[in-house]
Amino acid sequence: MSGNLDNLDATPEKPVIAAQRSTKRRGPRLSRADRTPLGLWFWEIDRVLLLLVSILVAVGLVAVAAASPVAAQKLSTTTASLDPLYYFYRQLMWVILGVPVMLMVSMLPKPQARRFAIYGTLVFVVLLFLVPLVGTTVNGAQRWIGSGALRLQPSEFLKPFFAVSLAWILSLRLHDQSLPVVPLSLAFTGVIAALLMGQPDLGQTIIFAATWFVLVLVAGLSMRILAGLVGAGFAGLVLAYFFYPVAQQRINIWLFAQGDSFQVDKAHATLTAGGLVGTGPGAGLAKFQLPEAHTDYIFSVIGEEFGMIACLAIVAIYLAIIVRVLVRLLDEEDSFLILAVAGLIAQFGGQATINMAVNTQLFPSKGMTLPFISYGGSSFIALSIGMGLLLSLTRRNPYAARVSMTRNWNKK
């Protein structure tokens, strides 16, 4: 339950009924009188947020079905050809696996969700250290462990766990100002960033660094320290440009039109090929010139076959999810919950923004999937875990009185 029970008004004039976590059902299943764990979950969960995510998952299946023939054709040979919907069937399998994972994680009580995230952080940090030793190389990047259907990308799974664990660490500072949690969290983030840059994975490095920055910003650091962090971040980008070949190559293509811009040029051409309403499902031709059509550049495939109106609708869904979560935080007083939810939604929104910006040539290529829409097992399961944690941490007792955090904004 979110909110502090000490703030409940239990006077006879305004009675408040506290939810009893009894396993005995007192009414019809999923009615307001149902006190089973499933009944309490149903009434505490943010069903609007769950509906928006479900729409994204459905859109993702349609988009992968549109992009699947491109990837299947490129992997087919003269002796063996893949089914045009091969990647759609695989994505459907990941959806069937990932959605129950998301729902199970969303059922965790808040203390258990926090412990789950901390343990998950420890496990996947260890796996991240193992990537340079036993990792699998794909397309010139060593980011995965295992092979075939058992191959996973530790950095994808680490992201949601990292956000919640970092929120827990930073929330300790609000209880004891002497704890050096900010330097420790910075060092922890720096270690992860160094491991990611070695893979190389500049996109994920930016996501982890941005998550840390958002959390320390929400935690209430002084403007002087924040200005120093912004300056350090800019200096880091300059150093990456001069000493990190991958970053230099992509920045040169983006800013100075130097080098091989084939990917971003084809992505932009495919995105705009369908006009406002698109060429129709399966009728796109420009997508066959597109690399990684089913993953990094699936937004361009949507633009060609379903039009710019569909692309704007997808942007609106992502924006609605972000706004819905932020509005949910307005009457939350628990510092850990505010930080954790802010970190998770910053990751989600940041990843979606970067992917769509790359497809529209507003950002250099990053090799990052579009949340719940792009094809990918590690990506979809990791996003399902992250959204499950977000749904768990935003659950609220429908019987609890709420106190808005904006109540003192106009008071001097």
Residue 152's DSSP bridge partners are: 145
Q: Over the stretch 163-188, which tens digit does the pLDDT of each residue have?
A: 999 999 998 877 777 788 888 888 99
Give the pLDDT confidence score for residue 260 in this predicted structure. Answer: 56
Q: Mapped to the 3 state alphabet, what secondary structure does the chain carry?
A: CCCCHHHCCCCCCCCCCCCCCCCCCCCCCCCCCCCCHHHHHHHHCCHHHHHHHHHHHHHHHHHHHHHHHHHHHHHCCCCCCCCCCHHHHHHHHHHHHHHHHHHHHHCCCHHHHHHHHHHHHHHHHHHHHHHHHHCEEECCEEEEECCHHHCECHHHHHHHHHHHHHHHHHHHHHCCCCCCHHHHHHHHHHHHHHHHHCCCCHHHHHHHHHHHHHHHHHHCCCHHHHHHHHHHHHHHHHHHHHHCHHHHHHHHHHHHCCCCCHHHHHHHHHHHCCCCCCCCCCCCCHHHHCCCCCCCCHHHHHHHHHHHHHHHHHHHHHHHHHHHHHHHHHHCCCHHHHHHHHHHHHHHHHHHHHHHHHHCCCCCCCCCCCCCCCCCHHHHHHHHHHHHHHHHHCCCCCCCCCCCCCCCCCCC
Entry pTM: 0.83
Give the pLDDT confidence score for residue 391 in this predicted structure. Answer: 94
Give the pLDDT confidence score for residue 10 in this predicted structure. Answer: 46
Give the pLDDT confidence score for residue 14 in this predicted structure. Answer: 45
Residues of the chain where predicted confidence (pLDDT) is lower than 50: 1-20, 22-23, 405-412
Residue whose entry in the numeric block shows the structure tokens 């997808």: 314
Q: Over the stretch 256-308, which tens digit does the pLDDT of each residue have?
A: 555 556 677 788 788 888 888 888 888 888 888 888 888 889 999 999 999 99
